[in-house]
Amino acid sequence: MPPTTNQTPASGPEQKSTVAPALTVRHLSVFFGGNQVLKNTSLDIAARAVTAIIGPSGCGKSTFLRAINRMHELTPEARVEGEIRLFGEDIYARGVEPVVVRRRVGMVFQKSNPFPTMSIVDNVTVGLRLNGVRQRKLLAERTEQSLRMAALWDEVKDRLHAPAISLSGGQQQRLCIARALAVQPEVLLMDEPASALDPLATAKIEDLILELKKEYTIVIVTHNMQQAARMSDYTAFFYLGELVEFGPTAKIFTSPAQKRTEDYVTGRFG
């Protein structure tokens, strides 16, 4: 059954319908050795919107996410076919360094991972410092700006030099978001960013994502259907390495075109 792919979502949220897509993915396949984990996927990811990636475990959604900032290349024997364009530029073109792609496409992981040897402020500025930024003024500005965007500033402004690991789990995850924002990426990838957090911390992260989409393009992998329905503008449903259905979230959750999508979002399998 060929995937029904809504290439350019027409019924997106009103103010975004005219914006060019942030990412255009064409015929993307990912292989680990001889094993194909993502099959011929094509979709457009709208700029300044939240796109949710849903599907059962092992369906290729994390692989899809990691192909967008070339993180899959850390896995030996990983191989990609097809094309991903970031605002028109082919990120797999010859001569494009993965390091450059990753500066433009940030990532937040399931397990919060602030650097344990560093203070809160050092964690926020690490991406800038290790890419050669030295100006103290700029670093200080970026620290406050990023922590404010991550809704963490008020909680940590008096102890910026405390160890990052002294923060609570939810705060650590917001710190990781601030760290990713500090390098001013164009796209933010989130791999189940709230799945290890309690409901209160999860709610904070969700509010934060809704706030962030005013400036950023966000792609979020989630196992939580309600979360996808609440937060995202578009939803892509992956199953067994295939993109089954992609479209505006409201449509995916209320009148999906595919039977498998309907079964999954209503909790009948997966």
Partner 1 sequence: MTAPNHRWRNFKNAVVQTLTFACAILVVTPLVLVFYHLISRGFSSINLAFFTQLPKPVGEVGGGMANAIVGTFILLGQAALLGVPVGVLGGVFLSEYGTSKLNWWIRFAADVLNGVPSITWGMVVYALMVVPHMPGFSALAGGVVLGLMMIPLVMRTTEEVLQLVPGGYREAALALGIAKWRTIVQIVVRTALKGIVTGVLLALARVAGETAPLLFTAFGNLGWAHRLTEPIAAMPLQIFIYAISPYDDWHRQAWAGALVLLMLVLAVNVGVRFLTRDRFRQRI
H/E stretch holding 32 reads strand 21-32
Selected binder of partner 1 within 71, 167, 177, 205 (CB under 8 A): 71
1 binds partner 1 (CB under 8 A): no
**Min dist. Cβ of residue 135 to partner 1 (A):** 18
79 binds partner 1 (CB under 8 A): no
DSSP, res 270: -
Give me the 165-194 binding string for partner 1, x by CB under 8 A, dash otherwise. Answer: x----------x--xx--x-----------
Report in angstroms how near the CB of residue 186 gets to partner 1 at its nearest. Answer: 12
When asked if residue 107 is in the footprint of partner 1 (CB under 8 A), the reply is yes
Identify the burial level of 263 via C-beta atoms within 10 angstroms of its C-beta, where 0-12 means exposed, 13-18 middle and 19 or more buried: middle
User: Comparing C-alpha atoms, which of 121, 95, 262 is closest to residue 178?
Assistant: 121
The single residue among 116, 136, 137, 214 that binds partner 1, judged by CB under 8 A, is: 116
Residues 252, 255, 260, 266, Cα dihedral to 10°: 80
Q: Which of 7, 8, 17, 117 binds partner 1 (CB under 8 A)?
A: 117
Which distant-in-sequence residues (6+ apart) come within 8 Å of 155 by Cβ?
Answer: 171
**What is the Cβ-side half-sphere exposure of residue 42, based on CA atoms within 13 angstroms?**
11
- What is the distance between the alpha carbons of residues 4 and 7, in angstroms, rounded to a whole number? 9
Among 9, 21, 55, 127, which residue sits at the site for partner 1 (rule: CB under 8 A)? Answer: 127
Smallest distance, partner 1 to C-beta of residue 116, A: 6
Task: Kindly list the residues in this chain that would bind partner 1 in the complex (CB under 8 A).
Answer: 69, 71, 74, 99-104, 106-107, 109, 111, 113, 115-117, 126-127, 130-131, 165, 176, 179-180, 183
